[in-house]
């Protein structure tokens, strides 16, 4: 967050200049939440079918937990826990979207093409999440071989979403679509869990992969559809949206 404040102060610009614009918030919010709800609905359903086919009896449970790809720390279902989860995710999303899709993406476009700038910020976003793996290694939770695999997983999965949310910026001109989906993804992972006789969220990684890939494909298709529509607009006629 400090980097964002420094960037805004140094250039003497407003938060809207990096994508947090008042106009487009509703449109971006609807797009982001729609992507999150649809893709996670599909991924939870597929996870349920896989577990059911394995002879287990999966069910959904709502409680607040710190969830990562490899472990889980249950907090509970109290109002304080819910408030902490909501506030923590809002701050996290604001900071990450502002830094990667705001500051880094906008800065990158000054020197590179939009596509290249998007690839750079998404790679940096993926690398940023490796910090979690480093913490696990330092506290002895996992060994180096497992950490290497986990790091690659974080880079790929976070990178996919980072690239997708960069595309959302290109489509809408704001950070809101990515911010709303980012918040939804984090919140649903922290609260809605799949429980069986043998454990909790055992196939979480499959759920996340399916959701991330579907979300990226959806935005790519939307981007292509908008380009086709724009190309059909006669010259001289204003292209809205």
- pLDDT tens, 168-195? 999 999 999 999 999 999 999 999 999 9
Q: Is residue 224 part of a domain?
A: no
Q: Is residue 173 part of a domain?
A: yes
Distance of alpha carbon 35 from alpha carbon 41, whole angstroms: 10
Residues 6+ apart with CB under 8 A from 231: none
Q: What residues pair up with 196 in beta bridges, in sequence order?
A: 199
Q: Is residue 47 part of a domain?
A: yes
Residue 165: C-alpha distances to residues 138, 161, 175, 200, 212 (Å): 31, 6, 8, 29, 11
Angle of CA points 154, 220, 127, to nearest 5°: 20
Distance of alpha carbon 155 from alpha carbon 96, whole angstroms: 15
- Torsion angles phi and psi, residue 170, rounded to 5: -65, -35
Q: How many domains does the chain have?
A: 1
Q: What is the pTM of this model?
A: 0.89
- Scanning 173-201, the segments in alpha helix (DSSP H) are 176-191
Q: Is residue 197 part of a domain?
A: yes
Q: Are 113 and 147 in contact (CB under 8 A)?
A: no
Q: Is residue 186 part of a domain?
A: yes
Q: What is the pLDDT of residue 68?
A: 52
Which domain range does residue 66 map to?
23-219
Q: Is 132 helix (H, G, I), strand (E, B) or coil?
A: helix
Q: Is residue 15 part of a domain?
A: no
- pLDDT tens, 12-45? 888 999 999 999 999 999 999 999 999 999 999 9
Q: What is the pLDDT of residue 226?
A: 87
Q: Is residue 189 part of a domain?
A: yes
Q: Is residue 241 part of a domain?
A: no
Q: What is the pLDDT of residue 7?
A: 85
Distance of alpha carbon 238 from alpha carbon 119, whole angstroms: 30
Q: How far is CA 83 from the centre of its chain?
A: 20
Lowest-pLDDT range, 67-81, 163-177, 209-223? 67-81
Q: How far is CA 160 from the centre of its chain?
A: 9
Q: What is the pLDDT of residue 234?
A: 63
Nearest to 180 by CA among 159, 164, 160: 164
Residue 227 has pLDDT above 90, yes or no: no
- pLDDT tens, 108-124? 999 999 999 999 999 99
């Amino acid at each position: 967050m400090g980097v964002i404040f420094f960037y805004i102060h140094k250039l003497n610009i407003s938060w809207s200049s990096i994508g947090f614009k008042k106009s487009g918030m509703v449109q971006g919010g609807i797009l982001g939440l729609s992507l999150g709800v649809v893709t996670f609905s599909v991924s939870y359903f597929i996870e349920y079918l896989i577990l059911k086919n394995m002879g287990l009896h999966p069910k959904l449970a709502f409680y607040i937990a710190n969830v990562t790809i490899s472990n889980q720390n249950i907090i509970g279902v109290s109002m304080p826990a819910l408030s902490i989860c909501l506030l923590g995710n809002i701050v996290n999303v604001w900071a990450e979207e502002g830094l990667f899709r705001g500051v880094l993406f906008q800065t990158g476009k000054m020197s590179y093409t939009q596509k290249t700038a998007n690839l750079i910020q998404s790679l940096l976003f993926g690398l940023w999440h490796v910090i979690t793996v480093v913490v696990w290694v330092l506290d002895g939770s996992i060994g180096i071989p497992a950490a290497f695999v986990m790091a690659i997983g974080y880079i790929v999965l976070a990178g996919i979403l980072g690239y997708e949310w960069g595309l959302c910026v290109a489509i809408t001109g704001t950070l809101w679509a990515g911010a709303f989906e980012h918040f939804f993804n984090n919140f649903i992972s922290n609260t809605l869990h799949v429980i069986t006789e043998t454990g909790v969220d055992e196939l979480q990684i499959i759920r996340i992969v399916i959701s991330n890939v579907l979300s990226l494909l959806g935005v790519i298709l939307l981007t292509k559809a908008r380009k086709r529509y724009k190309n059909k607009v006669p010259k001289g006629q204003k292209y809205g949206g």
